[in-house]
Chains A and B, each alone.
Chain A
Amino acid sequence: ETGVTQSPTHLIKTRGQQVTLRCSSQSGHNTVSWYQQALGQGPQFIFQYYREEENGRGNFPPRFSGLQFPNYSSELNVNALELDDSALYLCASSLGDNSGNTIYFGEGSWLTVV
């Protein structure tokens, strides 16, 4: 148990729809990052939030957006869903955004786009 919780655990959406995934970070952690893990692949960095500001972004289009709230919980929003967005979405939290800090993952949200 890492203390990072995500919801929902599974969901199915139709192409073109929008989805919101939620994450509660481990107690005391002020940094949240989101990763996409396609089947059989390693996680790919989407973006990171530190103290409610986005401070890093991977190679994902603008239809992937996020928020971090004052209690450090976070949301990932994906608009105009495409079939290739089907994946496991992982949230990870850490204390601070320094390189070398361990990040702690939740169990993920499985998204299927049909």
Chain B
Amino acid sequence: GNSVTQMEGPVTLSEEAFLTINCTYTATGYPSLFWYVQYPGEGLQLLLKATKADDKGSNKGFEATYRKETTSFHLEKGSVQVSDSAVYFCALSVGTGNQFYFGTGTSLTVIP
């Protein structure tokens, strides 16, 4: 089947620290991979995506590389800010119909 497993939280970091949130997937096809972010009191927003192996998605200083050999799509940022505090969801889309499968989310809190 199709599923996403992501690092459990909550994660607490100091400002300017390095962030990694791990995400691995299983898919019955060739998926597209996404990271969505949910800021407090807001809806889910696309952070970045990658649609084929070795593609790197990037946005707002965040990056993730589609690794087919390890079935992973880990999210990284070199220097987090307080404003990055949010819940991060890894997701995949595969097959017809564009159905998305989400991980359980990782809560990140960045302290000054």
Name A residues whose Cβ lies closer than 8 Å to a Cβ of B.
Answer: 2, 4, 31, 33, 35, 40-45, 48, 50, 55-56, 58, 90, 92, 94, 96-108
The docked-state distance in angstroms from the alpha carbon of A90 to that of B46 is: 14
Q: How many residues of B contact A (CB 8 A)?
A: 28
Q: Check B45–A99 contact: CB distance below 8 A.
A: no
Listed stretches B14-22, B67-75, B78-86, B95-103; interface member: B95-103
Contacts known (A43-B44, A107-B42, A108-B43); A33 close to B104, Cβ less than 8 A: no
Residue from A42, A50, A56, A100 in contact with B32 in the complex, judged by beta carbons closer than 8 Å: A100
Are the CB atoms of B43 and A45 closer together than 8 Å? no
Specify which chain B residues have a CB less than 8 angstroms from the CB of A100 in the assembled complex. 32, 49, 51, 93, 98
**Minimal Cβ-Cβ distance residue in B for A4:** B43
Closest to B52 in A: A100
Measured between alpha carbons, how far is A4 from B45 in the docked complex, in Å?
Answer: 11
- Give, as a whole number of angstroms, the nearest-CB distance from B16 to chain A: 29
Interface membership of B25, Cβ < 8 A: no
A98–B95 Cα distance when bound, in Å, is: 8
Which of A40, A45, A99 makes the CB contact (< 8 A) with B104? Answer: A40
Knowing A40-B104, A99-B31, A99-B93, the reply to whether A58 touches B43 (Cβ < 8 A) is no
Residues of chain B contacted by A44 (CB below 8 angstroms): 102
